[in-house]
């Protein structure tokens, strides 16, 4: 017995064409591949159980205070149609924090497009049968998979909202990465007049995995999520942070042509740019971008003054009002994180890679630090 979404996917023109063996395979081979990928993608959200997951995750969640901006945007959009939340991706805690922010404010929960590495073992069962996460194979060029994925997402959007990360995986460098177009294109193929994208930005004073990410700089290999989860629990010792989730205005999709590669790219870049504009600029990022290898507090405040002028001119979503506020809060957090130290009247850098990581989180809003900085 085929479920409703599977039947709809198999009936779509692009899938039916592939099933006829249009990519150099027999019809039977094509059918087997599509059905295997549909089995892999199939997911169910049981929301009462999902809400209960907050309790075993409490040791991590209690360390992060949640703040939200412009929640009226998703509230209004979900009353009139389906919503795609397109977010940047800082941490594994993103897909814990963002759905909970919506739930805290009475907004229906989206399904989540997540990397397939999150689906091993007991966690995979939770994602597939409770949270409603959709496993995504990133960087694959298999036409059977790409055709099936886009068709599945297009049909899924008839019944559910969706949260996905427009950068793909987490940013290991800290900067806002270029957008991926696959799920944007799939959403455009949904052909729904009442479907909108809500740009969503998440920012932290301190990212839980900052040292792990900053040490690598770029993603070199995929590790088992069970290992990463155990690592996160260890990193949570002594950790405390704020998370700011900011929602933007809905972006309409009803007049766009999914067959136009230019329109797909333009929509992806426009969404990414809106996320960058919404991104909350917090004291740790400001101090990191203004910091030098050794500096007095007075000189640091002067540098932060100039940086704040640049950020205001760029229309940044500032989390502070003055250079003194930014420096006082940022220095405190970075000292406690052992990223900088105070010695003989001057602040000195202890962990250059972590400082650069936080500085790059706002590099889309201002010029990145010069080679002589840090």
Q: Flag residues of the chain having pLDDT under 50.
A: 1, 368-374
Phi, psi dihedrals of residue 293, rounded to the nearest 5°? -55, -35
Residue 202: Cβ within 10 Å count = 24
Does an H or E element contain 202, and which? Answer: strand 195-204
Chain-centre distance of CA 1, in angstroms? 35
Residue 293 is part of which domain span?
281-360
What whole-number distance in Å separates Cα of residue 247 and Cα of residue 155? 25
Predicted local distance difference test score (pLDDT) of residue 374 = 47
Residues 228, 134, single domain; the answer is: yes
- Which of 263, 66, 302 is CA-nearest to residue 184? 263
Predicted local distance difference test score (pLDDT) of residue 225 = 56
Predicted local distance difference test score (pLDDT) of residue 373 = 43
The model's pLDDT over 9-36, given as tens digits with 9 standing for 90+, comes to 988 988 988 888 766 678 888 888 898 9
Q: What angle do CA 360, 87, 357 make, to 5 degrees?
A: 15
Task: Provide the greatest CA pair distance for the chain.
Answer: 75
Residues 175, 317, single domain; the answer is: no
Q: b/e per residue, 20-42, with b = 16+ CB within 10 A?
A: eeeeebeeeebbebbeebbebbe
Q: What CA dihedral angle connects 291, 293, 297 and 302, to 10 degrees?
A: -50
The model's pLDDT over 154-186, given as tens digits with 9 standing for 90+, comes to 888 988 899 999 998 889 999 999 999 988 988
Please say which residue of 256, 278, 300 terminates a domain.
Answer: 278
What whole-number distance in Å separates Cα of residue 275 and Cα of residue 171? 14
Domain with residue 244: its CATH number is 3.40.1130.10
Residue 5 lies in a domain: no
Please count the structural domains in the chain.
Answer: 2
Instruction: State the pTM of this model.
Output: 0.88
Domain with residue 346: its CATH number is 1.10.10
What whole-number distance in Å separates Cα of residue 85 and Cα of residue 197? 6
- Which of 209, 179, 183, 185 is CA-nearest to residue 94? 209
Contact (Cβ atoms closer than 8 angstroms) between residue 339 and residue 350? yes
What whole-number distance in Å separates Cα of residue 178 and Cα of residue 240? 29
Residues 89, 71, single domain; the answer is: yes
Residues 290, 274, single domain; the answer is: no
- Which of 166, 195, 176, 163 is CA-nearest to residue 85? 163
Residue 298 lies in a domain: yes
Residue 131 lies in a domain: yes
Residue 47: Cβ within 10 Å count = 14
Please say which residue of 278, 300, 322 terminates a domain.
Answer: 278
Residues 257, 289, single domain; the answer is: no
Predicted local distance difference test score (pLDDT) of residue 292 = 96
Please say which residue of 227, 245, 278 terminates a domain.
Answer: 278
């Amino acid at each position: 017995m085929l479920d409703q979404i599977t039947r709809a996917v198999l009936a779509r023109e692009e899938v039916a064409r592939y099933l006829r063996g249009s990519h150099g395979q027999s019809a039977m081979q094509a059918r087997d591949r599509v059905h295997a990928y549909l089995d892999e993608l199939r997911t169910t959200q049981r929301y009462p159980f999902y809400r209960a997951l907050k309790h075993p995750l409490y040791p991590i969640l209690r360390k992060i205070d949640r703040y939200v901006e412009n929640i009226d945007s998703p509230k209004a959009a979900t009353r009139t149609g389906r919503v795609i939340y397109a977010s940047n991706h800082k941490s594994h805690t993103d897909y814990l924090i963002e759905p909970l922010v919506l739930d805290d404010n009475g907004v229906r929960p989206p399904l989540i497009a997540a990397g397939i590495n999150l689906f091993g073992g007991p966690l995979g069962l939770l994602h597939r049968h409770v949270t409603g996460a959709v496993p995504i194979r990133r960087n694959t060029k298999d036409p059977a998979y790409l055709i099936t994925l886009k068709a599945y997402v297009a049909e899924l959007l008839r019944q559910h909202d969706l949260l996905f990360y427009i950068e793909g995986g987490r940013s290991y460098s800290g900067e806002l990465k270029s957008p991926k177009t696959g799920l944007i294109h799939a959403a455009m193929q949904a052909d729904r007049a009442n479907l909108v994208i809500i740009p969503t930005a998440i920012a932290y004073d301190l990212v839980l995995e900052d040292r792990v990410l900053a040490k690598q700089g770029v993603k070199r290999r995929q590790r088992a999520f069970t290992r990463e989860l155990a690592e996160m629990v260890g990193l949570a010792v002594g950790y405390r942070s704020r998370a700011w989730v900011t929602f933007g205005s809905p972006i309409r999709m009803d007049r766009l042509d999914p067959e136009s590669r230019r329109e797909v790219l333009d929509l992806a870049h426009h969404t990414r740019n809106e996320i960058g504009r919404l991104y909350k600029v917090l004291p740790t990022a400001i101090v990191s971008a203004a910091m030098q290898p050794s500096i007095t507090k007075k000189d640091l405040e002067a540098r932060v003054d100039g940086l704040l002028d640049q950020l205001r001119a760029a229309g940044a979503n500032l989390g502070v009002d003055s250079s003194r506020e930014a420096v006082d809060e940022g220095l405190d957090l970075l000292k406690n994180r052992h990223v900088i130290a105070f010695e003989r009247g001057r602040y000195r850098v202890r962990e250059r890679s972590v400082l650069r990581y936080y500085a790059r989180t706002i590099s889309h809003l201002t010029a990145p630090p010069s080679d002589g900085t840090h």
